[in-house]
Structure 1
């Protein structure tokens, strides 16, 4: 059997090695020593990776000689040290590389979903080529263009051993059956790798199944998945985004033959390269100068006693970034503006109104106290960083109000006072140089400089929106710090966001203790102006907490100056005291917010100071076309707010790319029309205003075609960690009471993000999240035999409408994106699902009885020749139908589009596709379904009885 050189002794600790905490593992013989560090700085994390690479390099000397064929293998011949690692790998798609050390290499499988402790999960594991042992210690970046290009995380590692009776590993690899025991930090116990038979066995890369076997470590089907529960690096504790951002180690497989498979950024072995373009959003670190080196500069500045509070400088909102040089561009932060005031050993954290919130950000205050200056005043923003590196106000608000365990980071973007001198008189660029020095060496998890770029503002803004950032703030490099709002600071938002005053609320239709929608307003000339409403973005906790606060503010008088009559129905008016943060797509022509989503309550602002944030036109160099200075119309939001450009022809170009991050945006999803992933994302983004009312806050099933419409597609209805930003979940019990997390969404950004997953169809339930058991729309699907002409189908749809009208129900029409038509009936959510299904069944049965030569209500395909199948089965719990404006996963990527009833008079069946959106976009000027939003039709007992009688007649 095999023998192994024992080279796994713990290497001597270098003097410069960082302190780490030992990772606890199950007791195994001569385990590989492992360490884990909290990634408080990129250097500490990089040192930890160096140690791992050194360990795995030492294992390259392992050699195992094969046991002669036919001999029995015993445990005593097995090596004591068999390493394994699992690397989380974001390449063309996120997956997990499962690697077992054997015969001096890493036998490797790519597992798309990662390992699962539920024994019923059989995770597909595609066997890939053996990897060098050294690669098992790697965490960092593989450059684009090389095999596996992307980010690599050491997700887990440890040792493994074959199970009793399966000690001949070489035989197991040949026969396709490996059974082994894992001793890792996250993965433990008995596991099996079984090679699949049939077609899968003949694939270029053999397909195996990774299966958890029964033991004390297994979990139930409803238990949390280990990949979701423990997503970060086992070695450094970093997220994928932190690894990608730090780029401290690079795997360079092109130089592997020369023994230079990897190098450390900044190390002696780093190859020379050209500097990266500024538009790549890389940090621009300045060399530390030492605080004392500023003493001479400080002596020339005006003396002052350290101010107790400095009224902050504020930014005007602009429609586009300023052009030309002389501007510093920073990422816009979504948090609480605060001044940090250090006076000796005392620190205060003051809000934008001067309130002392030190107790709320104690960890940040403690870090400020460590600065090597006696007196200093900093200006910045306290935020919670999301996994993708952007800031998340909703998480920040839950930290303050609900005590959520989120790390608070204070981004400093200005220096106002230092050691008795007024720094505010210096140009901004100089202030930021001094600020970088003051913050040198701090814990960057808690305190850091808000970096800036001096580059093209428009390009930077576009990039910021692609990376899901809030937007950018552009500041004059030569500007002095001036309290109040002025044009030296300009902010551009990828999506609009501002504070509003709550003047009323509606009750939820499902009777929960919460709110249905908030009525929003802002002050103008002392009057509260109605700005629309928001009914999305609430969690179970915020529903309850906001309702509790509003109950104490209820009053009879309407606080707004004026509210449209249709918006007053069912409203409870409140004293205008509660301020909330809201994100929305744009302002409508009626000056109402569109696609608004609740983010959180603002406790740092009083209601009286909430005004509408107006936009201005940013400064441009002399000679620019004057037309560019005109304010732009308030139309649908785009990736860069419909930036007007003028080059030689001085023509207006509308940029409407979706502000979502896509891998391989040029990938073709439909060969016949040339539809790309980017085109699909742009379509979803531009159609969101029309499509969201029909899918928002409903359970959804998605048809995913990651390799295109002509390749295998599949349905996904359950939420998981791989969904794009903004896509959420709602827990729904199945018929057996088992809770399942269904996909749901409510924002344009989330909808556009579906393109990254290759989603070519969106299918909503017929009920909303707030009242799942009562549908608010019924759907009759007319599915004709292909031999029937358009005129026959159109007449059938007209008959359905006529019959519905006869019983007092209005209906709406749309194409299915295929050969059929959908007729949709909006109803008040009063009927339960069984009653709704029975009504629909009785209705179509009556049509079949009246004309059985044309209509059919059974699904039997053999009987459909020359007939129209009246499908009523969309009207039951859990059933879905394709959404209005959704593409279809068919050749040409056709669209299911709402129609006017007059469209039935067209000579041919109308067809619309995603790729030809520009040709039929003008149809959106009129909405044939406009009346549906306010229609409250009820299916009464009289209607039910009447339809039932027709059915039985």
Structure 2
């Protein structure tokens, strides 16, 4: 047993986890990662004290938790303070309302209640447990009877599942991730230890605020974006990007109030900030710490697709480092990758039903003209693998093997747009230089494991049973079936009458140029920015651009169609010489149709990352808004062969919008 001693300052520093992939060797316990704020709970002398990670006393901010902890024993406990959303999940955005309030009023206590999740114990009645193994400490924690305390609980620790399996459960329940802890590990106060490994499903990063840029449109009176920094291994403050989304109006004004007294004349960063990111910037002293979510870390250490989460008063600026920078390691360059990297919400390439391993891809390459390929635990009989499906124009022709490999490798990016949705298939079994045809009905020879959905409203003669793609194996089966183009429904299951996307389709005519399409896409960009609506553009792989707008549950197709129609009519009035509203193609005079009629049940647009039936196998690819100004942009710029490099460099800008519960402002 560890020796008894009174606790000191060292004991009041929490042990920290290293970031990494879920461990695969035995001997680990797994806990869920909670989206809250870390706190040590000190119970001594009949009183309760809460100490933040950086040693600050935050007791006054959480009176309901102070009242919930019994004071009949001396204890030091480790845990997380959380605020729960309506679904019972920790919500850091909610907790932000409490973190900055030293003495919360009764109205705030009622509006944003908090709970305490305990996961470790450091001391009991004067006896230190720091030297005891994890299993012993967890047993002693369970023996305290915490579950009888109001607002306090001990979340489960799993020892009978692998960390990878636990991560899948976290993904299904939309939790932040997992923390794997060696069952033999002792508690090391203040140390970031490899004995604890955290794997986040959404990358969170603490950042130092270095300034802000002016706002535009409906944010003209506040700010446009924050300039962010982090320290490298030498302690230099490096510029790591801007964040301009994720703010509420209240948060924007509160940030300006906090930053205004901190103005300075020169940049606080120890390196130049790119000129296009610093136009009109107001620099500030680097003393505020915030947190963002991000999707991609570029090779030069810049955060891409960042979303603001809030200030972190419990962190010191000196603590803020980027793992890749502090370790002197940069992400792999695009040319070093043989297949698309996993999306950032699949950290470290965690194996999921959407992920095909390099070993599985290598096995595909070893097959002859036909053979059985095992992917994702499913055996698929593949045929005619050397048959040319896409003729070459600027590149070599592509075979069925190439197309199968594309859909297998891109599955982690594509399946999220197909999951829980019926899908319409555009089949070209003899290649794209032969006529294709639509197939919606699942054929009788489809494998039993392929998910199906029966349309309860289908009339005789209409499609009765649709396929639903929920895995890489399902995508591979469809590629082998000759389904080269995939069109998911705009609505999901089971609420198939409620769209989750509002779609804007900029459909060029025979006399329209891509430059004309871009004029309209930029006008939509301005309009959506003015309205404060989150959306993302996508080149179609053919001639046009589409814009996908996420919507919250409850909208009907009539609602989204009406909203897109009104928005499109307003945009069209700006350049009437480019636009037609005629339904029939032969009456459009070769002009662009802003097609709002796609917002209807079973009306579909091509899925992101789906191939298109044209030479070289162009792909429909989501892009950043600022790429509309790229002089090299073409609607068919990326192909099956060049997509991996694109994904390695930029990821998927549309992915953060999947499932975003957004209300559409009235028009």
Task: Establish whether TM, by shorter chain, passes 0.5.
Answer: yes
Per-residue deviation at 1:604? 0.6
Matched, 1:782 2:508: yes
What is the alpha-carbon distance in structure 2 between the residues aligned to residue 551 and residue 598 of structure 1?
A: 19
Q: TM-score when scaled to structure 1? A: 0.44
Query: Alignment partner for residue 282 of structure 2, among 556, 572, 594?
Result: 572
- TM-score when scaled to structure 2? 0.61
Kindly provide the CA deviation profile for residues 773-830 of structure 1, in whole angstroms up to 9, marking residues without a partner as x: xxxxxx96435xxxxxxxxx2x5437958999xxxxxxxx98769x984599xxxxxx
Quote the Cα distance in structure 2 between the aligned partners of 1:634 and 1:649. Answer: 15
From the superposition, tell whether residues 867 and 882 of structure 1 become closer, same or farther in structure 2 (CA, over 3 Å).
closer
Going from structure 1 to structure 2, the CA distance change for 1:343 and 1:660 (only over 3 Å counts) comes to farther
CA apart distance, 1:894: 2.8
- Matched residue, 1:387: 86
1:669 to 408, 413, 423: 423
CA distance in 1, matches of 2:255, 2:264: 16
RMSD (Å) for aligned C-alpha atoms: 4.8
Describe the superposition over 1:600-627 as per-residue Cα deviations: whole angstroms up to 9, x where unpaired: 110111111111135999xxxxxxxxxx
Match for residue 447 of structure 1 among 140, 152, 163: 152
Match of 2:298 among 588, 592, 598: 588
Structure 2 unaligned blocks of 5 or more: 328-336, 364-374, 376-408, 426-438, 443-466, 476-487, 521-536, 548-566, 623-637, 654-667
Equivalent-residue separation in structure 2 for 1:391 and 1:802 (angstroms): 41
- Which residue in the other structure is 1:637 paired with? 344
Determine the structure 2 residue equivalent to 1:305: 6
Tell me the SS of whatever aligns to 2:223. coil
Deviations 1:343-375 (A, max 9, x none): 13111111112211111111111111x2542x1
1:124-149 CA distance string (max 9 Å, x none): xxxxxxxxxxxxxxxxxxxxxxxxxx
Q: Is the 8 A contact 2:540 2:620 kept in 1?
A: no
1:859 to 562, 582, 591: 582
Using the alignment, how far apart are the partners of 1:317 and 1:802 within structure 2?
A: 41
Q: How does 1:717-732 map onto structure 2 within 5 Å?
A: none
Counterparts in 2 of 1:866 and 1:410: CA distance versus 1, 3 Å: closer
Q: In structure 2, what is the equivalent of residue 763 of structure 1?
A: 503
Alpha carbons of 1:508 and 1:477: their partners in 2 closer, same or farther (altered >3 Å)?
Answer: same
> Is this contact kept in 2: 1:465–1:639, CA < 8 A?
no
Q: Work out the CA distance in 2 between the residues paired with 1:313 and 1:659.
A: 38
CA gap of 1:553–1:658, structure 2 versus 1, over 3 A, is same
**TM superposition shift of 1:499:** 0.8
| Greater C-alpha Rg | 1
**Structure 1 residues 912, 367: closer, same or farther in 2, change over 3 A?**
closer
- When residues 443 and 924 of structure 1 are mapped into structure 2, their CA distance, relative to the original with a 3 A threshold, is same
Tell whether 2:131 aligns with 1:412.
no
Secondary structure of 2:62's counterpart equals helix
- Matching residue within 462, 468, 471 for 2:174: 468
The correspondence of residues 626-775 of structure 1 with structure 2, limited to 5 A, is: 636-643=343-350, 657=412, 668-670=422-424, 672=439, 676-678=468-470, 704-706=490-492, 759=500, 762-763=502-503
The count of residues paired between Structure 1 and Structure 2 equals 478
Q: For 1:491 and 1:378, how far apart are their aligned partners in 2?
A: 20
Question: 8 Å contact 1:329–1:452 — kept in the other structure?
Answer: yes
CA offset at residue 489 of structure 1? Answer: 0.9
The answer as to 2:239 corresponding to 1:530 is yes
**In 2 relative to 1, CA 614–314 (structure 1 residues): closer, same or farther, beyond 3 Å?**
farther
For residues 470-497 of structure 1, give each alpha carbon's deviation from its aligned partner in whole angstroms, at most 9, with x where no partner exists.
1101111111111211111111111110
Within the alignment, does 1:351 sit opposite 2:52 as a pair? Answer: yes
Question: Which structure's relative contact order is higher, taking Cα pairs within 8 Å and 6+ residues apart?
Answer: 2
Match of 1:560 in 2: 269
Pair 860,372 (structure 1): closer, same or farther in 2 beyond 3 Å: closer
Are 1:870 and 2:594 an aligned pair?
no
Matched with 1:894 is 606
Q: For 2:320 and 2:515, how far apart are their aligned partners in 1? A: 53
Q: How does 1:791-940 map to 2 (within 5 A)?
A: 793=510, 796-797=512-513, 821=544, 837-843=572-578, 857=580, 859=582, 861=584, 865=586, 868=589, 870-871=591-592, 889-890=602-603, 894-895=606-607, 920=640, 922-923=642-643, 925=645
Distance in 1 of aligned mates of 2:285 and 2:341: 30
Partner of 1:335: 36
Quickly say closer, same or farther: Cα 1:871–1:606, change in 2 above 3 A: same
Question: What runs of 5+ residues in structure 1 fail to find an aligned partner?
Answer: 1-299, 618-629, 684-701, 717-758, 765-778, 784-792, 805-812, 825-831, 845-856, 875-879, 934-953
* SS of residue paired to 1:552: helix
Contact 1:383/1:396, CA 8 A, preserved across alignment: yes
Residues 384 and 395, structure 1, Cα contact 8 Å, conserved in 2? yes
Q: Distance in 2 between matches of 1:803 and 1:313?
A: 54
* Aligned match for 1:317, one of 15, 19, 22: 19
Contact 1:554-1:573 at 8 Å conserved across structures: yes
Give the superposition deviation at 1:556: 1.3
- How many Å separate the matches in 2 of 1:359 and 1:478? 36
The 8 Å contact of residues 428 and 478 in structure 1, kept in 2 or not, is answered as yes
Quote the Cα distance in structure 2 between the aligned partners of 1:493 and 1:478. 23
For residue 534 of structure 1, report the CA deviation from its aligned partner. 1.0
Match of 1:621 in 2: none
CA contact 1:816–1:895 (8 Å) conserved in 2: no
Where does residue 517 of structure 1 map in the other structure? 225
